[in-house]
Structure 1
Amino acid sequence: MNAKTWDKIATVVLYIISMLIVVLLVGFIGYIIYNGRDSLNLHFLTSDSLVDQAGGGIGPQLFNSFYMLFISLIITVPIGIGAGIYLSQYGKQGKILDFIRLCIETMASLPSIVVGLFGLLVFVNMTHWQYTILAGSLAIAVINLPSMARVSENAITAASSKVKEASLGLGSTEWQTIKKVILPSAMPQILTGIILAAGRVFGEAAALLYTSGMSTPALNYNNISLTNKMSPFSLFRPAETLAVHIWKLNSEGMVPDASKIATGSSAVLVIMVLLFNFLARFIGNKLYKAYSGK
């Protein structure tokens, strides 16, 4: 067979592999949503699960997941982007930079259960905070920082190769070039890293079992405080996230309709991840067009 024939065969094989991945993803998502379809209603999303009653919901767990997402991104995004800027623009190639990259790769390969035990030792016991939202957010930040730093570094390096010399040649300083030219151009790729970081918050359970806990106290939604444990916005209260709640229902089954709540929670979790991905992509494209003048 000649080269054109082999090229056609390779193209067909790659198309088949791509379609197989899409089919598997659609089948997986469809199966989860179909099984949990009966729970996709406002009552389920806003009510609480009671130990001795059926028909509960995931209101507190859903709120905890979004709140922990917000807190963890506040910690992860500035540090991750700052690390990416240093690695791509300011760090000099050599043993020190290689050692930093080795540390980042090592952190990225740590199992989440190990990070959870580290969080239990440092953020829970040594600080005497006990199980708190802040401890869980810091543990998630430890998991997400390596990937956020590498994504930011690659995005900034790729963007700077096209525009950095032109900007410096026009008289801009290096920081002005990074702030006004490179970062806007790299924003879609950086948002991809933020999406990955957000997905870990929604899907992570092992690390949060040891840091944020498996319970949520009775909350007073009229109390807006960052320290009062009765406030939903408190950083120093235990918080059971949606992923932990699913694990707890499947392992302990403390409510009469635990299986139904677990399947409904799984469907909500998948839908939230999909919505966040689509929204982030949409915002990223808008930001890129705004900064690039398209």
Structure 2
Amino acid sequence: MNAKTADKIATGVFVTVAAFIVLLLAGLLGYILFRGVGHISWHFLTSAPETIRKGGGIGPQLFNSVFLLVLTMLITIPIGLGAGIYMSEYAPANRVTNAVRLIVEVLSSVPSIIVGLFGLLVIVNLFGFGFSLFSGALALTVFNLPLMVRITEQGLKGVPREQKEASLALGLSKWKTITSVMLPIALPVILTGTILSAGRVFGEAAALLFTAGMSSPRLDFTNWNPFSPFSPLNPFRPAETLAVHIWKINSEGLAPDAGQIAAGASAVLVITVLLFNFGARWLGRYLYRKFTAIK
């Protein structure tokens, strides 16, 4: 077999495998959306499960998912940025640093159910936060922090060395160089990774079963006191997120239209995650053109 024939065969195999994966993904997404989009309505998105006929709204669960996402990113972004900047620009190249990078890589591949069990033992029981949104946010921070650190470090290392050296040569301090020269250039990569990690948070369920809980108090959306147990803004109340709600309603099957509720909620979850991904790509391209002056 000559080189051209081998190249054609290899190309055909790769194209076939890629097409199969794309068709499989498109079929899966199409099936979920086909089953669920017809059940989505404004009433479905804003009503509580017990206030709609046949028991089918996802309003509180959708709010809990968004609130949990905000809490998680408020904790993850500052820590992840700081750790990524340190690992990229300040950490010495030695065995300790290499060990930290290895630990970060290992943490990024830990199953989310293990993170949930860790959260149950340490955050919920040892620290005494109980089943709450805050416990879930801390557990998801452990789950998402390695990705945030790695994205920040890689984004900063992708900055051309000449620009960094030129800034230092002009007399700027190292910190000023990082904040004024390197971070703006690395910002598209960091923001894209941040939005993608936010999509992972929104769709997570396993870790939240053991930390945020599988039920929510009856929320009073007219009560905005964050210390009230029935306030939607209270971060220390138990909360059932949208992904957990899908699992729960399928496993219990108490609602007469559980299949329709799960299908609609799954479609909402898939659409939201897709929006996160497309938004990340669009924002990354926009910021790259803005900071590089490429039209």
TM norm structure 2? 0.92
Matches for 1:177-192 after TM superposition, within 5 Å: 177-192=177-192
1:126 aligns with 2:132: no
Q: Is the 2:117–2:207 contact (alpha carbons within 8 Å) kept by the matching residues of 1? A: yes
Seen in structure 2, the aligned counterparts of structure 1 residues 90 and 245 have a Cα distance that, compared at 3 Å, is same
Name the Cα RMSD after superposition. 2.0
Q: Is the 1:228–1:236 contact (alpha carbons within 8 Å) kept by the matching residues of 2? A: no
Following TM superposition, by how much is the alpha carbon of 1:177 offset from its aligned partner in structure 2, in angstroms?
Answer: 1.9
Q: What is the rounded CA distance, in whole Å, between the counterparts of 2:168 and 2:3 in structure 1? A: 46
CA deviations on 1:168-199 (whole Å, 9 max, x unpaired) are: 23332222221122222222222232133212
Following TM superposition, by how much is the alpha carbon of 1:55 offset from its aligned partner in structure 2, in angstroms?
Answer: 4.8
The answer to which of 238-247 and 181-190 deviates more is: 181-190
The answer to which of 163-172 and 115-124 deviates more is: 163-172
Following TM superposition, by how much is the alpha carbon of 1:52 offset from its aligned partner in structure 2, in angstroms?
Answer: 10
Identity within the alignment, %:
54
Query: When the two structures are aligned, how many residues end up with a matched partner?
Result: 294
Q: What is the rounded CA distance, in whole Å, between the counterparts of 1:228 and 1:26 in structure 2? A: 44
Partner amino acid, structure 2, of 1:130: G
Matches for 1:115-264 after TM superposition, within 5 Å: 115-161=115-161, 163-264=163-264
Q: Is the 2:192–2:283 contact (alpha carbons within 8 Å) kept by the matching residues of 1? A: no
Q: Is the 2:203–2:243 contact (alpha carbons within 8 Å) kept by the matching residues of 1? A: yes
Following TM superposition, by how much is the alpha carbon of 1:16 offset from its aligned partner in structure 2, in angstroms?
Answer: 2.8
* Structure 2 counterpart of 1:39: 39
The answer to which of 92-101 and 175-184 deviates more is: 175-184
Q: Is the 2:51–2:57 contact (alpha carbons within 8 Å) kept by the matching residues of 1? A: no
Seen in structure 2, the aligned counterparts of structure 1 residues 162 and 3 have a Cα distance that, compared at 3 Å, is farther
Partner amino acid, structure 1, of 2:11: T
The answer to which of 238-247 and 18-27 deviates more is: 18-27
TM norm structure 1? 0.92
Following TM superposition, by how much is the alpha carbon of 1:259 offset from its aligned partner in structure 2, in angstroms?
Answer: 1.1
Q: What is the rounded CA distance, in whole Å, between the counterparts of 2:100 and 2:239 in structure 1? A: 33
* Partner secondary structure for residue 11 of structure 2: helix
Q: What is the rounded CA distance, in whole Å, between the counterparts of 2:169 and 2:14 in structure 1? A: 43
| Consecutive unaligned residues in structure 2, runs of 5 or more | none
Seen in structure 2, the aligned counterparts of structure 1 residues 9 and 77 have a Cα distance that, compared at 3 Å, is same
* Structure 2 counterpart of 1:105: 105
Following TM superposition, by how much is the alpha carbon of 1:86 offset from its aligned partner in structure 2, in angstroms?
Answer: 1.0
Seen in structure 2, the aligned counterparts of structure 1 residues 160 and 142 have a Cα distance that, compared at 3 Å, is farther
* Partner secondary structure for residue 273 of structure 2: helix
| Consecutive unaligned residues in structure 1, runs of 5 or more | none
Seen in structure 2, the aligned counterparts of structure 1 residues 229 and 102 have a Cα distance that, compared at 3 Å, is same
* Structure 1 counterpart of 2:77: 77
